[in-house]
Structure 1
Amino acid sequence: MGLSLPLASMALVVLADLVEGRDHFLTPGIVVAPPLAAITVTWRKTLFVGVLGLLVQAALAPYDGITDIPDHDVFFGQAFAYAFVTLFSVYIAWRRETGAKAFTAIASVAEAAQHALMRPPEPRVGPVRLAVRYVSAADAAQIGGDLYAVLETPHGVRALIGDVRGKGLAAVQTSAVVLGAFREAAFDEGGLDTVAARVDTSVGRHVTTGDFITALFAQFDTPGSVELLHYGHVAPLLVSTDGTVQTLDPADPWVPLGLKDLVPAGPAPWRVPMRPGDVLVLCTDGVIEARSPVDGTFYPLGERVGPLVAGAHSDLDAAVERVYADLLRHAGGSLSDDVVLLLLSPQPRPLPMHPQDPPIPL
């Protein structure tokens, strides 16, 4: 858009003034040009538009007969009012530029912080293909209280998805504690339950704000199955190659991380069969609690995800984008909470090709 809108408005006023003749004094309408410039161009260009408009009014003053008025009070009053509007418009444009630069700087720092905190995994971690979509409800921050991690360890591929109660800097700090503890324990501990116990202990030691974290742990250590451990999180979904969706409700649901003082023991992991081509769908509550602006209904992930993900184990990136696009359509184009969509599909690595052994001489 640039200067076209303010210059076009100025040209329109000048044309109307010339067409109407000396009996119609229309040049004060040029006062709309500087405010239009303030919302479309830089403060320097806004000042240019203001000065140009003042010169145009001065040039048209004799034609309109303004200079024929004794003492030129009308013209000077008009020029003073126009100059005031111009200066105020320049100030608005300067503030808008400054805010845009600050927003860009914050977004850049936040994006770097997100990558440092989340460390987005490769499309394949060990024998597991994956795709993730992370969206923060705070557009400027690009980070929030939702978290995830997928690691290849000596004990298999281990994954974590979680959601910190609350938002803002405190939620980000809590996410950092959880992810740091998980990355350490995932390599050190032999059982998924002991990994979770160490994370829970770390939360109790370092998180003093009273926050808690819903979490789901997953471990791919045996071909044909996945081990899961539930800490109050959204139940995972298993999508088969034909689009059948199975909700994997835990046999032993548990309280979130950070609340272990309320219960004497810990949850027990359970194992779920996974056939070749099956996709495990993990998400945070920002997905299933996204409301439609039309009827206020929550997003029916279990009903929608089957055809969107079925058979997509070789192209999970496209599948996760389809689910996210469908979620946005349901929510009217915007989300009010952080969202993580994580798709996992174990696939054995292809065997390396070896050159044919030379024939044994007879």
Structure 2
Amino acid sequence: MDLQYSPEQLQLRESVERFVREEYDFAHRRRLVASDPGHDEACWQKYADFGWLAIPFSEDDGGIGGGAADVALVMEGVGRGLLLEPYLANVVLAGGVLAALGSAEQKAQWLAPMMTGQTKLALAHAEAGGRYERAHCDTRLQHDGQGLVLSGGKVLVHGGGVADAFVVIARSSGAVGDEQGLSAVVVPAKAPGVAIKAYATHDGTRAADVTFDRVALPASALLGQEGGAFDAIDRVLDRGIAALAAEAVGAMGALVDTTLDYLKTRKQFGRPIGTNQALQHRMVDMHIALDEARSMALYGALMIDEADAPTRRKALSATKIEIDRTARLVGQEAVQLHGAMGVTEELNVGHYFKRLTLIGLSLGDSNWHLRRHAAN
């Protein structure tokens, strides 16, 4: 197996790194966190101009035809720059469900304008009390004459506050935890009966709780076969894990570099604190953890297209478990080695630590993935 990046992938990585380096410094991010909508619309349009929003979609759908490794290169840059724009929500999650289940007409209506930056999408999947279980769904989709009616509520919809439309997972039949009976529909954000409560999360990114009060939808809003959406949803959420793993690697890499520079320049008793052997050992532990995380992120990206679902689930759970462990180690060491400065708002170290903490709680925490790993 050739694990070398192609010239095109190297060019993609360089374009992301250059954008972060030249146009998205930490001061810019801090201003955006306090702004409305909490990210830079001009930067989002640049994502589209660079082709990043079209990477994982087929050429037949108007995309570039890249794979999980290409998305990972972008997400690693997202992590290194702590970018606030909802790339994961649009491209990987909502766009992934549309690409998997949508018809040519639905893709032309929703996916194509997302790739050009004209439309923002968000996946409305999680519900209160679900505890990461992917089949947990009590939002109901019912027939009403020639159309459909959607009722229920979703929580922690990433990018939901600025979404033009939601890809909503709803139950057409069965009990709350059944895998069969789940459907996906596209719901315009301004449709009558849709209520959105947006908020900032602990790490500065934005999410929303969304309720649907008997929202009337045309039959054409249904994506794919009614009641048969679970397998596509399951794979898309695993793609989300692979993307989060790459983002975590980018954030960890930035923390390792920042901490090493600090140890080289911070002086006590007339010499850099990095000359202390105990601190050198801790720095080595951080480097080792980063390399372990990078290997597991690559493993997750390579396994996302595995045809056998249990094998794929096991691999992506292993990836998430290891990413959570290494992110916690690198984040905690970076904060401690910076001393009290590590948790100040003015220093980026604490912000990276917050983002890594939220990644650890996204799409299943370590305990949930340990159970899934054992079950597959």
> Structure 1 length as normaliser, TM-score?
0.24
> Structure 2 length as normaliser, TM-score?
0.24
Bigger CA radius of gyration? 1
More helix by share: 2
